[in-house]
Amino acid sequence: MKQLNISIKHNLIIGLFFSLWIFIFAFIIKPFDDGTINFRAWFFISFGFSIMAFLCYGVLAIIQKIFYKRIRKWNISLEIAAILLFHILYLIGVFAFYKSPILNGGYNFSEFFSVIFIKVALILTPVIILARRYLIKLIPVKDDILVFRGENRLDILKIKKRFGLHFKCSKLC
């Protein structure tokens, strides 16, 4: 992985995809149903988990953009770290939602982690990996380098667009 799409807009589209996928999965499949949760509660659980996924992925997009602009490279270890960071943010967020007055969940943190979150992470991780991998292929990073080639094979001039010169053409052009 040599490049990263650092566009916040494109990453928020991925975050929206995650949140929609989590809502559908949690609401239809009901992976944690023990028969005591009604329709309204499942809607709130699904909605809360999906909104939290969107917010956590948005935070991740901002953090990775800042980090990428600082070091100007991206590799597999940074990608793994980004996915782990998403899971940590998501764990904290969904546990806070789970313990909120809306749900008033009964598990403590270690029970929540082992009973609920491990299942969510195992299901969500492949989706995150595929979506992040294909984000670059489906929405490519715009090349911000202008390349001018001369008559000889080695006559190449590369200029980054943000540092590029701006010319105005007068009547002589």
In a domain, 85, yes or no: yes
Provide the domain count of the chain: 1
In this model, does residue 165 exceed pLDDT 60? no
Distance separating alpha carbons of residues 128 and 83, to the nearest angstrom: 8
In a domain, 2, yes or no: no
pTM of the model: 0.74
In a domain, 173, yes or no: no
In a domain, 87, yes or no: yes
- 95-132: pLDDT as tens digits: 999 899 888 888 899 999 998 899 889 988 998 888 88
Minimal CA–CA distance to 126: which of 62, 76, 83?
A: 83
Q: Tell me the residue range of the domain where 39 lies.
A: 8-138
Minimal CA–CA distance to 55: which of 31, 22, 78, 99?
A: 22
In a domain, 170, yes or no: no
In a domain, 155, yes or no: no
In a domain, 161, yes or no: no
